[in-house]
Structure 1
């Protein structure tokens, strides 16, 4: 997985890799709200040039909050429908696992979503989903 480009936003850092993975890493201690989700989704879409991509959410060593409205936007934004193939969320704390499981159970994303505690397993799962999607 080779790095191509990175964009730093106010509350997150978004990176594009050569295997169609777009990684979002939340900054520590932030409250991520709807406006932040709109900007982040647009940035992810732009980095992928509107082509299909895999979303990797890296919340390792990060503590903060994300609003329900931001979660809903990530899950159902029409901009990413049909281009975001799958989404893997990597967590390393009970706090982040609770947030990720809430997202998984209550937002009903338009693409497959899975929570992981291991980055490599998350990447493998994403690449598998991409191959199946063709």
Structure 2
């Protein structure tokens, strides 16, 4: 992985774009269209989220937009369902079609994380829910 400036507002990875939104309250991730996430991508995503949080000195309320995803390898799905970076306090998964909904449900059902995770089809509802989670936890 190439050296990155984790203090930036936006970071482009091979698999997705990760950026701070809503006055830095939410770290948003948008998987690139028709991308199949590999285990290396999953590790890079988690590492980027953790490092961006450390660079800001704040917890992460994560909006993962997986509406355009093509799929994920078994290893990548296991990685995402096993744990989240410790800085992540809540996750909203934004889904649309059958593939993203299936992956989202898989991640929620197999998640071992002790954080709130929920599926959404509406971006604004997902953001409202994350902001509500943030206010509950402060």
**CA-based RMSD:** 1.8
Q: Which sections of structure 2, spanning at least 5 residues, go unmatched?
A: 1-7
Q: Specify whether residues 48 and 20 from structure 1 end up closer, same or farther in structure 2 by C-alpha distance, changes over 3 A only.
A: farther
Residue aligned with 2:9, SS = strand
Q: Is the 8 A contact 2:90 2:115 kept in 1?
A: yes
Q: Which sections of structure 1, spanning at least 5 residues, go unmatched?
A: none
Moved more, 18-27 or 84-93: 18-27
Q: 1:104-133 CA distances to partner (integer Å, 9 max, x unpaired)? A: 112333321100000000001111111111
Q: 1:15-73 CA distances to partner (integer Å, 9 max, x unpaired)? A: 1122421111111122211111111111111222252111101123x131112322332
Number of residue pairs aligned between Structure 1 and Structure 2: 128
TM-score calculated relative to the size of structure 1? 0.85
Match of 2:10 in 1: 6
Runs of 4+ deviating beyond 3 Å:
75-78
CA distance in 1, matches of 2:19, 2:78: 22
